[in-house]
């Protein structure tokens, strides 16, 4: 009848005491399990979402930074130095970079080309309507042009698009700046183009005219035409469409989103860009934009009035937007730190996951609350379990005195208490592992739904702004809904191990603290007093 | 040779500058095979004396020797575990254990060499002091006061120590039960060669012992 056997008999034969201890540990265990699982789920959602957002970074001027905006306003030409190809290539030599490209980007209003409108045209395709019968979905007609330096094309590497017909660019095309383009299959179909056809990019002055000017007529608009050869068509990949669709639906429902993007959903603009982007070599883009600029300078001298020679010279140089695909999301911070010293003034590294904290504000809040609850639950558990054990030990003072008077070692008496409490605790913790998961699900759902409505009513942007990855054109739009879809309260080995360790650790600390009472016990006073 | 010897035991409480003596220069020696009683009025210091001899407390001055070694050198916990056994007035059994389990607890605690089949030994011990096998398997809370005191004696015997100390073992029993318990103690001393030291206020018990010491206001008076 050693301490272990005594402990087991004590647990099984003193049922009311065991039940009280079980109830206390079970209740506290549920709070602890719920907060551990919430904390873990928020960590998982961050990891999953950041992986979805991709390990993508760019270098540019962060216009969303108000401090930077003020600096830029007082900037002189002498202060400004451009992000040159040389700097981009130096950055790309970083060991963290897997793939990179840089792009001169522009866009144009066309009178000749019809953009593919993903919303309206999809409707038309489904109902077999003609163009005239279709309600205009998204009214944008500004078609983006994206320069390419890497002939293999970054957007293909990122899984945003895939080649449908024809071929991608050759190294020679990129080097010489040949007027060749890659367009989306939908855009080609809409305009009746095929691979090998010639297409005219008409950079028109439409939109540059003063809209309020009555004399300004559409027929007065001019255009700078560039004839290009279509060498290939691409499909927008399903994963991108699916993500766009998913986040677009949720975003459209949001009051905040409607305020942020009046007249149309930002998601629609994102989809529009996906289908209407014209890819062509950087050099060709530059030649085309310069041609258009020179036409403007000749035809609209008033637009260029006041422009200094330096400004004009700066405008004639290409402005590149680089994009770096890193080997891992975990490398982003190191990449940022290494890159910072190489950057021209006012430039900074912006990563796809930078927006995570803004978008996932409610999850971060939930994570912080869960962390606080874990700490509070652990401390509360230590105190409450300690008090219950002390109360029971006071009640069993005579029994403990008997063991000590028989000469039992204090360590054995402590071990008996430890076994008794741990036996009850393990049962309570294992059951609360399951019930705590449901409590965690319920609590986080209640929190997220209340926080969502607060965001909408309060006008907070964090809940529904699209992530920078959409802005980066990395092909993956991640918003609060996507993050919410990634949020799942589920059993994971990590949760089970973390919770049981935290739970048992708490119980062990309580028992060890309570053993101070055993050291104070005086069998003479108890048994002979 | 005495098995236990107290040498000028002094025990007092400090009351301001005053020392209130509970025991004063008490020197007694006990031998195996004898049944001793320590008698005295309430407050005479007999229970304090037993606590010193049982290693439950330490004297302010003086020594308790076990086979000529100071029990503090042996270690009080070790001394209680292996050298002596105690029977308390209120039997002090573990309430959620059966009679046999209470005996087995003591057997598990001691370091003394015991027979391998401890359960059989425990049943036999209980039988020896009059607890049937059927009662041995019952929770002690289901047994009478007399039966509980017998179990406490069986537990004291289970560790195979040479000294049995008892504090008012018959205090809560009727005359008939008291007589039975005293007979057990006599048997243990005479047949089993134990040194049985019983602290009691009962003159009847004292009369049946081999040697009686009387304590009066902490001083030893030979009977």
Domain ranges of chain B: 2-222
Strand A278-281 to A347-351 pairing: unpaired
Pick A480 or A419 by higher pLDDT: A419
Helices (H) and strands (E) in chain A, counts: 23, 10
Pick B27 or A56 by higher pLDDT: B27
Whether residue A1 and residue B108 make contact (CB cut-off 8 A), yes or no, is yes
The verdict on A399 touching B (C-beta cutoff 8 Å) is yes
The chain-wide mean pLDDT, for chain B, equals: 88
At residue A339, does pLDDT exceed 80? yes
Supply the pLDDT for residue A491. Answer: 73
Lowest mean pLDDT among A25-39, A311-325, B37-51: A311-325
Question: Using 50, 70 and 90 to split pLDDT, how confident is the model at B222?
Answer: low
Supply the pLDDT for residue A480. Answer: 62
**Mean per-residue pLDDT, B23-28:** 89
**Mean per-residue pLDDT, B82-96:** 86
Whether residue B94 and residue A399 make contact (CB cut-off 8 A), yes or no, is yes
- Distance, CA of A98 to CA of A54 (rounded, Å): 12
**Mean per-residue pLDDT, A263-282:** 75
Question: Using 50, 70 and 90 to split pLDDT, how confident is the model at A459?
Answer: very low
The verdict on A408 touching B (C-beta cutoff 8 Å) is yes
**Mean per-residue pLDDT, A512-521:** 86
At residue B43, does pLDDT exceed 90? no
Tell me which residue in A9, A524, A527 faces B92 most closely, judged by beta carbons.
A527
Burial (CB < 10 A; 0-12, 13-18, 19+), residue B158, is buried
Q: Which residues of A touch B159 (CB under 8 A)?
A: 406
**Mean per-residue pLDDT, A480-492:** 69
Supply the pLDDT for residue A360. Answer: 67
The verdict on B160 touching A (C-beta cutoff 8 Å) is no
Whether residue A408 and residue B109 make contact (CB cut-off 8 A), yes or no, is yes
Whether residue B78 and residue A406 make contact (CB cut-off 8 A), yes or no, is no
Question: Using 50, 70 and 90 to split pLDDT, how confident is the model at A238?
Answer: low
Supply the pLDDT for residue B123. Answer: 92
Supply the pLDDT for residue A256. Answer: 29
Q: Least CA distance to A14: which residue of chain B?
A: B96
Whether residue B109 and residue A406 make contact (CB cut-off 8 A), yes or no, is yes
- Distance, CA of B34 to CA of B195 (rounded, Å): 5
Q: Which residues of A touch B80 (CB under 8 A)?
A: 405-407
The verdict on A298 touching B (C-beta cutoff 8 Å) is no
Q: What is the homologous superfamily of the domain B2-222 according to CATH?
A: P-loop containing nucleotide triphosphate hydrolases (3.40.50.300)
Supply the pLDDT for residue A35. Answer: 83
Query: How many of the other CB atoms lie within 10 Å of CB of A224?
Result: 20
At residue A378, does pLDDT exceed 50? yes
The verdict on A519 touching B (C-beta cutoff 8 Å) is no
Whether residue B108 and residue A401 make contact (CB cut-off 8 A), yes or no, is no
Tell me which residue in A398, A406, A528 faces B51 most closely, judged by beta carbons.
A528
Question: Using 50, 70 and 90 to split pLDDT, how confident is the model at A473?
Answer: very low
**Mean per-residue pLDDT, A505-525:** 86
- Distance, CA of A299 to CA of A293 (rounded, Å): 10
Beta strands in B56-151 (DSSP E): 61-66, 69-70, 84-87
Per-residue pLDDT reduced to its tens digit, A240-272:
554 444 443 333 333 323 333 334 445 566 677
Per-residue pLDDT reduced to its tens digit, A352-373:
777 676 666 667 777 788 888 8
Question: How distant is the Cα of B75 from the closest Cα of chain A, in angstroms?
Answer: 10
At residue A147, does pLDDT exceed 70? yes
**Mean per-residue pLDDT, A164-186:** 93
Q: Give B40-58 as a DSSP string.
A: E-TTSSHHHHHHHHTTSS-
At residue A328, does pLDDT exceed 50? yes
Whether residue B77 and residue A409 make contact (CB cut-off 8 A), yes or no, is yes
Q: How far is it between the farthest Cα atoms of chain A?
A: 115
- Distance, CA of B211 to CA of B223 (rounded, Å): 8
Q: Which residues of B touch A10 (CB under 8 A)?
A: 96
Per-residue pLDDT reduced to its tens digit, B101-127:
999 999 999 988 888 888 998 998 898
- Distance, CA of A1 to CA of A208 (rounded, Å): 96
Pick A311 or B33 by higher pLDDT: B33
What is the ipTM metric for this complex? 0.91
For B111, phi then psi, to 5°, come to: -95, -5
At residue A45, does pLDDT exceed 50? yes
Question: How distant is the Cα of B117 from the closest Cα of chain A, in angstroms?
Answer: 13
Query: How many of the other CB atoms lie within 10 Å of CB of A475?
Result: 24
Taking phi over 0 as left and psi of -120 to 50 as alpha, with beta for the rest, A162 belongs to beta
Pick the residue of A2, A406, A527 with the most B CBs within 10 A to test the interface with B by mutation: A406
pTM attached to this predicted model: 0.66
Token pair 């008496």 is at which residue?
A: A413
Q: Which residues of B touch A398 (CB under 8 A)?
A: 92
The chain-wide mean pLDDT, for chain A, equals: 78
- Distance, CA of A300 to CA of A302 (rounded, Å): 5
Pick B94 or A522 by higher pLDDT: B94
Q: Least CA distance to A523: which residue of chain B?
A: B56
At residue A225, does pLDDT exceed 80? yes
Supply the pLDDT for residue B75. Answer: 92
């Amino acid at each position: 009848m050693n301490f272990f056997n005594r402990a087991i008999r004590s647990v099984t034969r003193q049922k009311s005491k065991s039940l009280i201890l079980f109830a206390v540990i079970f209740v506290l265990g549920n709070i602890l399990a719920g907060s551990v699982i919430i904390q873990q789920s928020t960590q998982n959602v961050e990891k999953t979402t950041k992986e979805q957002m991709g390990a993508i970074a760019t270098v540019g001027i962060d216009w969303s930074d108000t401090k930077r905006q003020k600096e830029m306003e007082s900037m002189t030409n002498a202060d400004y130095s451009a992000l040159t190809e040389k700097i981009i290539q130096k950055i790309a030599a970083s060991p963290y970079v897997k793939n990179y490209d840089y792009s001169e980007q522009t866009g144009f209003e066309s009178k000749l080309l019809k953009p593919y409108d993903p919303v309206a045209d999809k409707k038309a395709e489904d109902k077999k309507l003609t163009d005239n019968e279709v309600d205009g979905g998204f009214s944008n007609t500004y078609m983006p042009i994206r320069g390419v330096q890497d002939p293999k094309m970054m957007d293909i590497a990122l899984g945003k698009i895939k080649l449908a017909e024809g071929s991608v660019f050759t190294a020679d095309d990129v080097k010489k700046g040949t007027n060749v383009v890659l367009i989306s299959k939908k855009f080609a179909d809409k305009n009746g183009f095929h691979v090998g056809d010639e297409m005219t990019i008409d950079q028109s002055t439409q939109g540059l005219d003063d809209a309020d000017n009555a004399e300004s007529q559409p027929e007065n608009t001019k255009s700078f035409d560039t004839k290009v050869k279509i060498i290939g068509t691409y499909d927008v990949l399903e994963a991108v469409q699916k993500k766009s669709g998913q986040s677009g639906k949720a975003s459209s429902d949001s009051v905040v989103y409607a305020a942020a993007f009046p007249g149309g959903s930002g998601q629609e603009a994102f989809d529009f860009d996906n289908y209407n982007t014209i890819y062509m070599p950087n050099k060709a883009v530059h030649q085309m934009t310069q041609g258009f600029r020179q036409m403007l300078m000749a035809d609209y001298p008033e637009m260029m009035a006041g422009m200094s020679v330096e400004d004009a010279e700066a405008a004639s140089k290409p402005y590149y937007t680089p994009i770096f695909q890193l080997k891992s999301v975990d490398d982003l911070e190191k990449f940022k730190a290494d890159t910072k010293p190489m950057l021209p003034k006012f430039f900074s590294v912006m990563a796809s996951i930078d927006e995570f904290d803004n978008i996932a504000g409610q999850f971060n809040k939930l994570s912080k609350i869960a962390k606080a609850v874990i700490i509070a639950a652990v401390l509360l558990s230590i105190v409450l379990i300690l008090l219950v054990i002390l109360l029971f030990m006071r009640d069993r003072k005579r029994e403990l005195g008997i063991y000590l008077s028989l000469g039992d070692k204090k360590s054995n008496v402590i071990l008996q208490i430890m076994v008794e409490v741990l036996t009850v605790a393990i049962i309570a913790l294992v059951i609360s592992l399951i019930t705590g998961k449901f409590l965690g699900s319920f609590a986080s759902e209640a929190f997220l739904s209340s926080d969502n409505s607060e965001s909408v009513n309060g006008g907070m942007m964090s809940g529904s702004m699209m992530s920078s990855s959409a802005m980066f054109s990395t092909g993956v739009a991640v918003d609060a809904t996507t993050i919410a879809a990634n949020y799942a309260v589920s059993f994971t080995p990590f949760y089970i191990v973390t919770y049981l360790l935290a739970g048992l650790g708490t119980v062990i600390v309580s028992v060890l603290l309570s053993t101070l009472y055993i050291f104070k016990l005086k069998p003479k006073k108890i048994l002979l007093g | 040779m005495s098995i236990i010897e107290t040498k000028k035991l002094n025990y007092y409480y400090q009351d301001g500058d005053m020392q209130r003596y509970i025991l004063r220069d008490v020197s007694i020696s006990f031998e195996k095979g004898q049944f001793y009683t320590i008698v005295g009025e309430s407050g005479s210091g007999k229970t304090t004396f037993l606590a010193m001899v049982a290693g439950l407390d330490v004297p302010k001055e003086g020594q308790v020797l076990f086979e000529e070694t100071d029990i503090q050198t042996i270690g009080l916990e070790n001394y209680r575990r292996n050298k002596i056994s105690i029977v308390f007035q209120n039997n002090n059994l573990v309430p959620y254990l059966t009679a046999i389990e209470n005996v087995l607890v003591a057997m598990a605690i001691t370091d003394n060499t015991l027979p391998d089949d401890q359960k059989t030994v425990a049943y036999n011990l209980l039988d020896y002091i009059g607890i049937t096998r059927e009662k041995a398997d019952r929770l002690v809370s289901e047994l009478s006061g007399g039966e509980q005191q017998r179990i406490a004696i069986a537990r004291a015997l289970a560790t195979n120590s040479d000294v049995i100390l008892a504090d008012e073992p018959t205090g809560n029993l009727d005359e008939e039960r008291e007589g039975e318990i005293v007979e057990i103690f006599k048997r243990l001393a005479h047949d089993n060669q134990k040194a049985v030291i019983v602290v009691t206020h009962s003159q009847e018990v004292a009369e049946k012992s081999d040697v009686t010491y009387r304590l009066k206001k902490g001083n030893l008076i030979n009977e």
